[in-house]
Structure 1
């Protein structure tokens, strides 16, 4: 291996690590606030990338059908709860947000998809389509099980993963998709050339991580999420709605997943089930951080990306095995150095 190959592998590892860092942060956030090990995080990666790819091809993305379907289910659940609690005023608001707007999107999205829009407009439309699925998924699946054990929530997450993977196959088919690069060309740093697209991915990931840090440190909702992550029972006692925290957390997770998928779509072919492996590597990074530490998860994500990149050169047939084997020593070390903690402790 010469310096040129090492530089290329390092570049690929840093780009992959930046994506895994975003997914790892999302997984840590979801687990800290809701105790859900969010296995379907990777599906939002695939939904974001494939929705964008179809819009660029002026095709109507199948994910738009998920909005009215999920919206009707959410409204029916809200209707049942509203009848029990005699909360009639909230039903009108729920009907507007979960039924009227999703049904209206069935007319708006095809018309917009048929138009030749710039890439940034397709990105925004893809986010508008995919992000609402996050809080809807929480309302349908996880909110009724908010007090269940971590094991039950994990089993439910696996079931949701298989359901979303099947829907992705129906909506997008088995063929792979790619999108055009956000930026073209190369950037010379003196010691070698870097792809402008790779640099764009890294800088966008860093900017998003900084934005999330500012959100959690300097906004009311961010501090509410931090309080819920530290102690869910204490957060409820001081008036913070854990239901609101859960919905906001899943909204952020859907946003991070969808945007991550759009960032990698120009550099790799995305299939309906591609997000699963990508999400698992983000999960490895989150495990390195103990599902609690954002900085350690970010460092772990970079390590996972570099290990995957260099493994693909030395032993490409075993690169996935090598990456996932990294979990074993981490879990062994944590099992020997930590003590049992109750959910609400």
Structure 2
């Protein structure tokens, strides 16, 4: 292996690691605030990639109808279990019924007109992002006080349901979206595509925005309080359920951005999100499922490891990545303090 190949593999690993970092951050964010191990995080990514591909082919994606159905279901469920006031009703009608209906009408109107790439990306993000809060209210909010194991079982069920719906909406074939940039430039003799540069730049921008959100805004500080002590946050008046909704919205937005970034560089199928999301989960585990910087570092490590493993033998690249998790979990288990199980 000469230096040119080495640095090419490094660039490829960093680009892949940037995507894994976004997924890992989404997983850590949801886990520390709601204690949910969000297996559907990768599904958001695949739904976004396939939705963008359908826009570019002039088809109305099934996610538009899914948004409409989930909004209606969330409204009905909340109507049955909540105390209805005029302000509550107006807010829920706007967020659960009007928003999905407007998005569905907008998509069906714009798709035949073949809008440009920027509008397609905005529509994709607008369709995928609200799925997170709706799924939280339907599947996880009723289990707010349940154990982590119960929440994990619910997460598995949601993942399976969304994967089946993905097969219904998009079929078994894979899709590839048009590139965000066709530019290429050279740095130290290594050719870097504009698409790769965009992927890394967008990932860095999102990380900075998340840091500003949690460090400088009242909403971010409230979510940090919920992550540190849920009971204490509730006692000082922080609505736990609302924090969960915002967290799931951020996670689905991050997943949607990841899907938009990966759609032009990799063939995406209805179940592709499971494997990529699992790699993001490995990165989050390496970071301890509680630290955003360590999750990012773990994602870069996984991306580099996968890149060099693919050069060594592409058939074993996933095996190498997942096998690396075994000594890390063993080391963490040996170093973790003994904790008595709650009754």
Common fold by TM > 0.5: yes
**CA–CA separation in structure 1 for the residues paired with 2:26 and 2:58:** 30
Task: State the Cα distance separating 1:78 from its structure 2 match.
Answer: 1.3
Q: What residue number does 1:161 align with? A: 159
**Per-residue CA distance 1:120-171 (angstroms, 9 max, x = gap):** 1110010111100000000000000011000011111111111100000111
SS at match of 1:339: coil
Alignment CA distance shift 1:16-1:165 (3 Å): same
Q: Which secondary structure does the structure 2 equivalent of 1:194 belong to?
A: strand
Change over 3 Å in CA distance of 1:190–1:89 after alignment to 2: closer
Look up the match of 1:26.
26
> Alpha-carbon deviation of 1:24?
0.5
Aligned to 1:100: 98
C-alpha separation in 1, matches of 2:339 and 2:182: 50
Which residue does the alignment assign to 2:323? Answer: 325
How many angstroms apart in 1 are the aligned matches of 2:338 and 2:302? 27
Q: Does 1:60 align with 2:60?
A: yes
Preserved contact between residue 176 and residue 271 of structure 1 (Cα < 8 Å): yes
Contact 2:184 2:193 in 1 (8 A): yes
Q: Is the 8 A contact 1:78 1:91 kept in 2?
A: no
User: CA offset at residue 71 of structure 1?
Assistant: 1.0
5+ unaligned residues in a row in structure 1: which ranges?
A: none
Q: Tell me the equivalent position of 1:206.
A: 204
- Deviations 1:53-101 (CA, angstroms, capped at 9, x unpaired): 111122111100111111111111111123xx35354123212321233
Q: Any conservation in 1 of the 2:22–2:203 contact (CA below 8 Å)? A: yes
Number of aligned positions between the proteins:
342
SS at match of 1:272: coil
1:225 to 223, 226, 233: 223
Q: Normalising to structure 2: TM-score of the pair?
A: 0.96
1:197 and 1:176 map into 2 onto residues whose CA distance is 20
Counterpart in the other structure of 2:129: 131
> Is the 1:42–1:278 Cα contact (8 Å) retained in structure 2?
yes
Deviation at 1:341, TM superposition (A): 5.5
Mapping of residues 164-175 of structure 1, within 5 Å: 164-175=162-173
- Matched position secondary structure for 2:145: coil
Q: Which consecutive residues of structure 2, in runs of 5 or more, have no partner in the other structure?
A: none
TM-score under structure 1 length normalisation: 0.96
In the alignment, structure 1 residue 254 sits paired with structure 2 residue 242: no
Aligned-partner SS, 1:177? coil
5 Å matches for 1:1-345?
1-82=1-82, 85-340=83-338
Q: Is the 8 A contact 2:14 2:300 kept in 1?
A: yes
Distance 1:80 1:237, change over 3 A: same
Q: Is the 8 Å Cα contact of residues 43 and 161 (structure 1) preserved in structure 2?
A: yes
> CA separation of 1:103/1:137 partners in 2, compared to 1, >3 Å: closer, same or farther?
same
